[in-house]
Chain A
Amino acid sequence: MDIYISGASQISMQEPLSTGWFTQPVLYDASYRRSVEADYRQFIAPMAARRMGRLLKRAIAVSSDALRQAGLDMPDAIITGTGLGCIENTENFLSAMTFQGEELLQPTQFIHSTHNTIGAQVALHLHCHGYNSTFTHTGISFESALADACCQMQTGRIATALVGGHDEMTPGYFRLLEKTGYWKPDATQARLRLADTPGAMAGETSVAMVLRNVCSDTAMARIAGVSLLCKPDDRRLTEAVEELTQGTIPDALMTGRSGDCADARIYRHISQMLYRDRVPALWYKHVFGESYTASAFGILTAALCLQRQTVPAPWLLRPEDVGRLPQALQNILCITQFQNKVYALTFLKSC
């Protein structure tokens, strides 16, 4: 079955609702950057927006923008990936409960604390009664949603889908994860590229993609397949890649390298093991930061590379690889893993 990414939009630390970052991203030297907010009034009426946290507003904005690009009013399905859900509301409710006790708690904080609030609010906004699901599994939350969309298309339940990857990073949660060594203190672009110390740069993710089972003028790339894997050994990973790419050597490998040293070792090993390091490696987390659904940016960037038939320099892990890219880009293998526990492979082809 052919499945196409027919529209996509993002809000992140780059310019919101834009693709200007594709050729000229702003490269931050920072441990933590929050997203640049868009003007949400063009998407949501003030009465509807007043209870929404940032994450919900961003989700509605990128969803509306992706649907507009794809020329689709109503998707058959809304499928969301989020590692932490509406963590700001969760934190607020938890904090009030811990420090003020179990009285006079605010219902809105609770109502908007669940993971599926995002998909539900997008459905409410669009009045969409179609299939609606939310996946929340660390670094493969977005790919789980993407894989579900592909499955539901293959079984004929749906023909179009709005797939989202959404995570916010509050200062509070940043500090908690900091305690577990998750972030790189004083992260710089040079340090991230070198990846010789622990930790990543924290970012936030709001990505929406519209998938269709027919090719249209707006199609950016074709999704040839998505694979999810749990703790694969080299043999299983190789087998899964072969199945997905049917033996094709991809033109480029979009890796989820975060700048963390252990994480970089894993991607180096994969690149060596699969392709003896001969396929140019791309990365994106130095542009968007790390978050549970940051891999959605990798797929978005890869789709843009295939659509525009170019890989701008900022995405190349090794600048010298530019000469190894073919004239005509035919496919990119996106690979992401979370702490070597779960893996996701997404194989994209040009339309």
Chain B
Amino acid sequence: MEEDLMLNLKKQIIEVLNLEEISPEDIADDAPLFGEGLGLDSIDALELIVLMERNYGIKLSDPVQSKAIFQSLKTMADYIAANRTK
């Protein structure tokens, strides 16, 4: 279940952020999504907030709180597993 969520999430991130040159295997579970690591930026963070609501029914209104959740793929998946409504 957890594995499935991680893989789906990777695919969704690649799609919504247009990471055409990246495949799910390229995203390490623990690597940082922002800055070094995957190199995402603040606009990506806003897109991820939309993704969380659309795909998992999770509303994030505080960009600071979101930062902690979007630290790595694992932190994101953990938060989804604990808070998802769909």
- Inside 8 A of A111's CB, which chain B residues have their CB? 43
Q: Does B5 contact A (CB under 8 A)?
A: no
For chain B, the bracket of interface size reads 10 to 19
A104-B53, A104-B54 given as contacts; is B17 within 8 A of A50 (CB)?
yes
Q: A47-B39, A51-B43, A111-B43 are in contact. Are A106 and B50 (CB under 8 A)?
A: yes
Query: Given contacts A106-B47, A107-B46, are A50 and B54 in contact (CB under 8 A)?
Result: no
User: B4 interface residue, CB < 8 Å from A?
Assistant: no
A51:B18 contact, CB within 8 angstroms: yes
Q: Across the interface, do B18 and A104 meet the contact criterion of CB distance under 8 Å?
A: no
Q: Could you tell me the distance between the alpha carbons of A6 and B54 in the complex, rounded to whole angstroms? A: 50
DSSP majority for the A interface?
A: loop
Asked whether A325 is an interface residue with its Cβ less than 8 Å from the other chain, the reply is no
Q: Which residue of A lies closest to B38 (CB)?
A: A47
* CB < 8 Å A-B pair total: 24
Known: A104-B53, A104-B54. A46 touches B20 (CB 8 A): yes
Contact between B50 and A107 (Cβ–Cβ < 8 Å)? yes
Contact size class for A? 10 to 19
Residue on B nearest A47 in the bound complex, by CB: B39
- A273 contacts partner chain B, Cβ-Cβ < 8 Å: no
Residue of B nearest to A112 (CB): B43
CB distance from A172 to the nearest CB of B (A): 20
CA distance A46 to B38 in the complex (A): 13
The answer to whether B50 and A105 have CB atoms under 8 Å apart is: yes
Does B28 make an interface contact (CB < 8 A)? no
In the complex, what residues of B have CB within 8 A of residue A50's CB?
A: 17-20
Asked if B21 is at the interface (CB within 8 A of a chain A CB), the reply is: yes
CA distance A103 to B57 in the complex (A): 12
B66: shortest Cβ distance to chain A, in Å? 13
Tell me, rounded to whole Å, the shortest Cβ–Cβ distance linking A220 to chain B: 37
User: Complex: how many Å from CA A288 to CA B54?
Assistant: 42
Cβ of B38 to closest chain A Cβ, rounded Å: 9
Q: Mark B44-76, 1 if CB is under 8 A from A, else 0.
A: 001100100110000000000000000000000
Q: Is A272 at the interface (CB under 8 A from chain B)?
A: no
Q: Which residues of B contact A51 (CB under 8 A)?
A: 18, 43
Which residue of the partner chain A has the closest CB to B46? A107
Report the separation of the CA atoms of residues A46 and B17 in the bound assembly, to the nearest whole angstrom. Answer: 12
> Are A46 and B21 interface neighbours, CB within 8 A?
yes
**Shortest distance between the CB of B30 and any CB in chain A (Å):** 21
Query: Measured between alpha carbons, how far is A49 from B57 in the docked complex, in Å?
Result: 30
A90-135 with Cβ < 8 A to chain B: 103-108, 111
Q: Which of A14-73 contact B (CB under 8 A)?
A: 46-47, 50-51
| Given A46-B20, A46-B21, A50-B17; A108-B53 close (CB under 8 Å) | no
Known: A105-B50, A107-B43, A108-B43. 11 other contacts (CB 8 A): A47-B39, A50-B17, A51-B18, A51-B43, A103-B53, A104-B50, A104-B53, A106-B47, A107-B47, A107-B50, A108-B47
By a beta-carbon cutoff of 8 Å, the part of chain B in contact with chain A is 17-21, 39, 43, 46-47, 50, 53-54
Query: Can you name 5 A-B residue pairings with CB atoms under 8 Å?
Result: A46-B20, A50-B17, A106-B47, A106-B50, A108-B43
* CB-CB nearest 3 A-B residue pairs: A50-B18, A107-B46, A46-B21
